[in-house]
Amino acid sequence: MPHPNDPKLPGWSAYLDRLEEESHHEEGHSVVRADTLAAQPQPQPQPQPPLVLPARPVSPTDPRWLQPAWIAKITLGNWVYYFLAKLVLYGMELIAFHPLYNLALAAFILLPAPSVFWRRVKRVFTVLLALALLYYDTWLPSITRVIAKESSLANFRPSYLLELLTRFVSWQAVLALFAGWVIYRLLSYWLRVDWLVMLAMLLLLFVQFPLPGEVTSGAPQTANSRPDMEQVVQGFFDRESQRSVSLPVPDSPAFDVVIIHVCSLSWDDVRAVGLEQHPLWQRFDILLSHFNSAASYSGPAAIHLLRATCGQQAHEKLYQPTASHCYLMGSLEGRGYEPQLALNHNGKFDDFLGQVQTHGRMPMSPLALDGVNIAQYSFYDTPVYDDQSVINRWLTVRQKSGSARVALYYDTVSLHDGNYLPGGESLPNTLTTYKARLQRFLDSMEKIMQKLDDSGRRVVVVMVSDHGGAVRGDKRQIPGLREIPTPHISLVPAGIKVIGGGARRAGATVTIDQSTSYLAIAHVLAGMLEKSPFKTGSFAPSAYLTDLPLTSFVSQNENTTVAEYGQRYYLNNAAAGWEDYVEFNPLSGKP
Ligand SMILES: [Zn+2]
């Protein structure tokens, strides 16, 4: 409280002094002052120019407003900053804002507390409620779950951890919050800003839907118009459990199958860095442009791929054994193929190799990489081998093998977030280098295909990504985080290319833009086993696309599902139930 004799407060000192005496037992709350004021004859404040007078901030409930006591009591106090800050962040689309809950919290703050004890109790509850609501509004659960999941966070390279942290901080947001604070302080001289804030929340309650975002249809979205997604997804998995592709006895001439599983590459990443026109895409004979990887983490995506001969399984089923005909490599093995495994990393992160060996049923050891070139180091400081060198090593081993048919599963993390070049900690931000890394990767895929062609072997290459790198992030997840398997993360490139043996494709690349998933890859492979594309020297890709199985978009992680229905996307995370997912960043048309 100001000192009664403070020379800066000439006109107010005696008055405030008296108020202090009257209300010291009430902790000096301004509301109490106004209350007391209303019960007594009003002292006349001496007229002063407002910009000279306030050496300390003037509360909106300051007695100079001469407002009735009941009005002065309706105040959020300093909590107005809490709501104001959240409204600013909501305006910048950095957080969500649930007006009903926020209004409820405001109403709780407005409740009068009859005594000091109750005021203290109320304050504790207000802080707890405000923290809980902030947590809910900011979508933080996904972030904390990621951190909990990535239990080996301690193994992360410190500079990568720092880089991740800086992605959380938006300097524009810091500036906007500061500007909001300044504007509040100025306005509060003339206006009841806390009332404006409450009014804004009330208005938001009525106009919040549809949320700003990328929605394909302009129709309003309300909670009531949402389909019963629980039933939609249950029906999806019921139907998927009935679907499978059986691999036929292979036709001749024999060919190898090389599956290149690319970590961290989605169509949204490709668009984000402007590489949609890279020649590799047109090199494929069949390109699935709406392929759902069904997960946004490497392990589950690899299991989905390695169980491609059956329909999509729910996430939790991936970690239980399934029917033997559902294992892609096992099915190929049953048709005379020798399954082989290669990684361009040690496979230890998140026990990737263990997941592939156990749940993808590829128990063999991966290709030995001693002496192979190291192209990068991972975010946990282990070697990431050069893709061309790994495939060259495999080719060398393959040429010596007596197997008539080999099926290789090769997993590459060359595009993973946080990779850095040997000897260089200097990369400013691995996301900003994504374009250069992707360009180099797509170029190297072209060279690998050329090398396979030059080797004289007959090969069918399947290049498919496990999930995107979330290069742009969206309004709900910072770049690089993949806890929510949005279509921007799990709609990924999948291409099939027939190489060698003099096989010529009739016509151009066939692009399938309908919703597909792993079963479509199994279908094409089954077709090629049945009728070898190397048989006549020329093949039509469309011959392998008859009755191509389509698959609706359902993408999952542990506790999180994103599903499409009626061209809208819906999110379920165990805590909150189903909600609309509209927080896409609008760079690129349809997700
Ligand atoms: Zn991955």
Ligand 1 geometric centre to CA of 481 (Å): 12
Cα–Cα distance between 434 and 270 in angstroms, integer? 10
> What distance separates the 2 farthest-apart alpha carbons in the chain?
106
> Would you tell me how many other CB atoms lie within 10 Å of the CB of residue 216?
12
Tell me the three state secondary structure of residue 158: helix
User: How does pLDDT run across 523-555, given as a tens digit for each residue?
Assistant: 999 999 999 999 998 999 999 999 999 999 999
Gyration radius (Cα) of the chain, Å: 31
Q: According to the model, what pLDDT value does residue 70 have?
A: 60
Ligand 1 geometric centre to CA of 513 (Å): 23
Eight-state DSSP code of residue 420: B
Ligand 1 geometric centre to CA of 351 (Å): 12
Q: According to the model, what pLDDT value does residue 214 have?
A: 38
Q: According to the model, what pLDDT value does residue 143 have?
A: 54
User: How does pLDDT run across 497-512, given as a tens digit for each residue?
Assistant: 999 999 999 999 999 9
The mean per-residue pLDDT over the stretch 567-581 comes to 84
Q: Where do runs of H (alpha helix) occur along 241-386?
A: 267-272, 279-283, 298-306, 328-334, 352-359
Q: According to the model, what pLDDT value does residue 140 have?
A: 61
Cα–Cα distance between 90 and 94 in angstroms, integer? 6
Residues constituting the chain: 591
Ligand 1 geometric centre to CA of 541 (Å): 28
Ligand 1 geometric centre to CA of 417 (Å): 10
* Residues with C-beta atoms within 5 A of ion ligand 1: 263, 298, 466
Cα–Cα distance between 416 and 57 in angstroms, integer? 51
User: How does pLDDT run across 23-45, given as a tens digit for each residue?
Assistant: 333 333 433 333 343 444 444 54
Cα–Cα distance between 94 and 85 in angstroms, integer? 11
**Which domains does the chain carry?**
13-73 (no CATH), 79-208 (no CATH), 232-580 (3.40.720.10)
The mean per-residue pLDDT over the stretch 121-150 comes to 75
Q: According to the model, what pLDDT value does residue 153 have?
A: 60
* Residues 489 and 467: beta-carbon distance below 8 Å: yes
Identify the bridge partners of residue 341 per DSSP, sorted by sequence position: 409
The mean per-residue pLDDT over the stretch 351-374 comes to 95
> Would you tell me how many other CB atoms lie within 10 Å of the CB of residue 424?
9
Token pair in block for residue 190: 């003339």
pLDDT of 136 > 70? The answer is yes
Ligand 1 geometric centre to CA of 265 (Å): 8
Q: Using 50, 70 and 90 to split pLDDT, how confident is the model at 149?
A: low
Q: Using 50, 70 and 90 to split pLDDT, how confident is the model at 433?
A: confident
User: How does pLDDT run across 449-477, given as a tens digit for each residue?
Assistant: 999 999 999 999 999 999 999 988 887 88
Cα–Cα distance between 590 and 584 in angstroms, integer? 10
Ligand 1 geometric centre to CA of 413 (Å): 7
Angle at 113 between CA 108 and CA 115, to 5 degrees: 160
Ligand 1 geometric centre to CA of 467 (Å): 6
Report helix angle 171-187 to 193-207, nearest 10.
130
The mean per-residue pLDDT over the stretch 322-348 comes to 96
Token pair in block for residue 418: 């946080």
Ligand 1 geometric centre to CA of 314 (Å): 19
- pLDDT exceeding 90 applies to what percent of the chain? 52
pLDDT of 50 > 70? The answer is no
Cα–Cα distance between 505 and 574 in angstroms, integer? 47
User: How does pLDDT run across 254-276, given as a tens digit for each residue?
Assistant: 999 999 999 999 999 999 999 99
pLDDT of 12 > 50? The answer is no
Q: Which H or E run includes 568?
A: strand 568-573
Predicted TM-score (pTM) of the model is: 0.76
Distances (CA, A) of 12 to 34, 58, 191, 291, 430: 15, 12, 21, 72, 59
Distances (CA, A) of 350 to 244, 258, 383: 29, 24, 16
Ligand 1 geometric centre to CA of 297 (Å): 5
Q: b vs e for 366-390, b when ≥16 Cβ sit within 10 Å of the residue's Cβ?
A: bbebeebeebbbbbbeebbbbbbbb
Ligand 1 geometric centre to CA of 469 (Å): 8
